Chain A
Amino acid sequence: MTPDWTSADSGRGATEAPDVTAALERLLQDEPGFRRTLDEATTAAIRDGRRRQLRNRAIGGVMSGAVAAAVCGAVVVIGPFGHQAATSVATSPSGGPLPSAVSTSSTSSTSSPSSTPAPAETTAPPETSPSSASGATGTVADRVQRLALAVAKPLGAATVVDRSAPTGSGDTAPYLTRLRVTTPKGPVEVAVSLDSDPGTSVALMSQSCQLDNGGADSGRRCTVITLTDSQGTWSRSYPNQPGRSSLEVAQTTDSGATLHVVIDNYAELADGTKAIGPTWSAAGIDPTEVEVLVRDSGLLG
């Protein structure tokens, strides 16, 4: 056979070099079975994919590869999960159970889970009581969401864009609620997570802050507001994104998990695009108040 070297020049490869495609196919004939079952593989992928979402959110996509690799274990903090459903609700009782009667317009083809609601968009007014995050009523997921709403209170009415919880005993995914608040000056995102992953510990978050300022091209500058062995509050600015700032509060729980709050003004709009909204300080967020809300959330012990 005389090879036609020009065949690499255009069109589809498999139709232009069927002999090579067939040879590659023969190469795959000794394909062994998978070591992991499909269920094991997809369960692990979902769990790890969620962690990757959190990490991507934390590093903001602006850190250099080297720094990201160095910090990735430390900054698995908080962030979004995907969402498909759009749910609207009229009220969110202060400090009480989360709304049970919601009107849902799901765009997805499959049903939502019952006890752990599917990531949904829930429009709720701001909490009305300063102590609305207090109390240990409701499930852990409810308390996480209540804390998020309380933190977002100064910003205005919030929309729940993600809410997630571990799906079973072996699932180490964090409890998470992510809210979007669209202020007149732009969007702000508030996310609260309760994560047992040691990669989210206060100590590692502190290291992450140091790395941000370590001279590497991390794209972030970190300021420590408060820091103890079990609690930290950090503010970050992003030199490559003028106007962007975030506030992070982390607190170790009695069980060794980490409760995290992140307020980021680089957030998604309803149409999926991202924009920079008002900084947390301009929006009236007080780090001390957030720390108090965290302590009173009923999630620490």
Chain B
Amino acid sequence: MSNEQPTEALDFRVWAAGARPRLRRTAYLLCGDWHQAEDLTQDVLVRVYAVWHRVARMSAPDAYARKAMVNAHRSALRRPSRREQVVELVPDRIDLRVPLSATEERDELLAALADLGTSQRTIVVLRYWEDLSVAEVAELLHLSAGTVKSQAARGLQHLRRTLTAVSLSEEEPA
């Protein structure tokens, strides 16, 4: 990298160093694919830098990035190339050091997340991963608080059902 970076670029790099892993994890929970999650994260970094002078002044790059992530994810879903229908979940690779039950649980949970609609999944991720309040999610997604509550409750119910099923299967005798 050049040592002739504008000041805002330097500030942005410092912020991005911390935010990038967080953003990619959120992106993964939204889309269920690490490659796509990295692409989404890159998209968000671009969106944030485009308004960096503004968001940095408001000391709110994380909040803006979260909103940009949701928008970037929605945009990605609208692209024809992204309209993929996953019919079966096959892990890319199996790490033999990881107990099978953990892998299975991840697969089941990923499938359960995929079962949720885009909005519901986004609400669940924002509520239970990003730890936002109902009001914050409602504002970010331009939804009513009631919609967020009901969608979050249904999403939670679905995920817990999956978790319970995995837990029960682990307890079954061999």
| A8-B153, A30-B106 known; A41-B45 Cβ under 8 A | yes
CB pair A113 B106 closer than 8 Å = no
Tell whether A11 is near chain B: CB-to-CB under 8 Å: yes
List residues of chain A with CB within 8 A of the CB of B6: 81, 112-113, 116, 118-119, 164, 167
Tell whether B76 is near chain A: CB-to-CB under 8 Å: no
Q: How many A-B residue pairs have CB under 8 A?
A: 197
Query: In the bound complex, how far is the Cα of B95 from the Cα of A32, in angstroms?
Result: 12
CB pair B129 A24 closer than 8 Å = yes
A28 contact from B28, B132, B134, Cβ within 8 A: B28
CB pair A167 B10 closer than 8 Å = no
Interface string of A99-121 (1 = CB under 8 A from B): 00000001011111111101100
Query: In the bound complex, how far is the Cα of B88 from the Cα of A125, in angstroms?
Result: 67
- Is chain B's interface secondary structure helix, strand, loop, or mixed overall? helix
List the 7 closest pairs (A to B, CB-CB), nearest first.
A82-B53, A49-B49, A13-B127, A45-B45, A8-B152, A113-B4, A8-B153
Query: In the bound complex, how far is the Cα of B133 from the Cα of A10, in angstroms?
Result: 7
**Nearest-CB distance from B30 to chain A (Å)?**
11
Determine the residue in chain B with the shortest Cβ distance to A39.
B1
Q: Using a CB-CB cutoff of 8 Å, which residues 1-51 of chain A contact chain B?
A: 1, 3, 5-15, 17, 19-21, 23-24, 26-32, 34-36, 38-39, 41-46, 48-50
Please list the residues of chain B having a beta carbon within 8 angstroms of any beta carbon in chain A: 1-13, 16-17, 20, 24-25, 28-29, 34-35, 38, 41-42, 45-54, 56-57, 95, 98, 102, 105-106, 109-110, 113, 124-134, 149-150, 152-153, 156-157, 159-160, 163-164
Determine the residue in chain A with the shortest Cβ distance to B10.
A110
Please list the residues of chain A having a beta carbon within 8 angstroms of any beta carbon in chain B: 1, 3, 5-15, 17, 19-21, 23-24, 26-32, 34-36, 38-39, 41-46, 48-50, 52-53, 56, 81-85, 106, 108-116, 118-119, 164, 167-168, 171, 272
List residues of chain B with CB within 8 A of the CB of A52: 46-47, 49-50
CB pair A10 B159 closer than 8 Å = no
A113 contact from B5, B35, B125, B163, Cβ within 8 A: B5
**Nearest-CB distance from A278 to chain B (Å)?**
26
Query: In the bound complex, how far is the Cα of B53 from the Cα of A272, in angstroms?
Result: 11
Determine the residue in chain A with the shortest Cβ distance to B125.
A24
**Nearest-CB distance from A84 to chain B (Å)?**
5
**Nearest-CB distance from A12 to chain B (Å)?**
5
B50 contact from A9, A17, A32, A53, Cβ within 8 A: A53
**Nearest-CB distance from A57 to chain B (Å)?**
10
List residues of chain A with CB within 8 A of the CB of B109: 23-24, 26-27
